[in-house]
Amino acid sequence: MQDGLIDRFKRSWDVTKQTFKIMMHDKEILAFPILAAFFSIIAFIALVAPIFVTAFVTGTLGSDATPLLVYLGIFVFYFVTAFFSVFFNAGVVHIAKTRMEGGDATFMDGIKAATSKLGKLIQWSLLTATVGLILSALESQARKKGGIIGMLGKIATSLLGLAWAIVSTFVVPAIILKDQGPIDALKSSTAAIKKTWGESLIKWFGLSTVKNAIMFLATILFLLPGILSFGISISLAVFLVGLWILVLMLVSVVFRAADMIFDTALFLYADTGKEPKMFTGGVIKNAFHKK
């Protein structure tokens, strides 16, 4: 048991090192998750906020028309955030795939690759937004029910959301690397998941382990001292808490890109049976469940 745990952490570190090795060669990859977050915020302010402002000004807030406006706002929000996420993830996939094949793609190469699949990425974003809206509606109905039925409804909705997140893991790589539409890409993603599923799928123990360790360390070093400092020095407390938030933001950006790089490597191996370059020591092969 102990040997298995030690081996798992060793492999986790190997996954992280080799994934970050690709990122070090193509540092422009880090720009993609930053841009995704930036444009999502801008789009939300520009598109979603006016819906609620209009509802307030016209006096429909709290009326029977409100649920329709709320769901419209939720759908727009889901679509906008999904689109910018998949669009910029597509750029990461292209650059990572090019590096794994021995090439060197630029930031604009990634943008061009995503733009060339724009129609399919929009279709997938619409499908994602629709699923998100349905799950949101189901959760809302579960809350209204209350009691045991409501609790069971919330659990069921959460499980459906988790299942959707799992089966759609490799959709963007499938769209970019195989030029597939949303439905075929979802089928390819599901097939890749079946091949990579099991305890030996080390992505969750690899990148997630290191990410969580960094966040935990940042909390110990910055957040807790910051909270304790409020009674001593407000400026010091604000500085430490701000530093903690900055670290979390940076970690989120870096590991979001790293997740997409490793997903690309896993999908390439699932699709071709060949371990991508720059991943050595059986890191990718060991991520696959032996049937």
Q: Per residue in 232-242, pLDDT tens?
A: 888 888 899 99
Q: Per residue in 241-267, pLDDT tens?
A: 999 998 988 898 888 898 899 888 888
Number of compact structural domains in the chain: 1
Q: Residue 29 half-sphere exposure, CB side, CA atoms within 13 Å?
A: 30
Contact between 141 and 154 (Cβ < 8 Å): no
Q: Per residue in 67-80, pLDDT tens?
A: 676 777 778 888 98
Angle at which helices 118-145 and 171-178 pack, to 10 degrees? 170
Q: For the CA atoms of the chain, what is the radius of gyration?
A: 21
Here the tokens at position 65 are: 């028309």
Here the tokens at position 2 are: 């102990």
Q: What is the DSSP secondary-structure string of 122-177?
A: HHHHHHHHHHHHHHHHHHHHHHHH-HHHHHHHHHHHHHHHHHHHHHTTTHHHHHHH
Domain around 228: 2-287
What would the mean pLDDT of 12-16 be, rounded to a whole number?
Answer: 74
Q: Per residue in 153-209, pLDDT tens?
A: 888 888 898 889 888 989 999 999 999 999 999 999 988 887 766 433 555 556 777
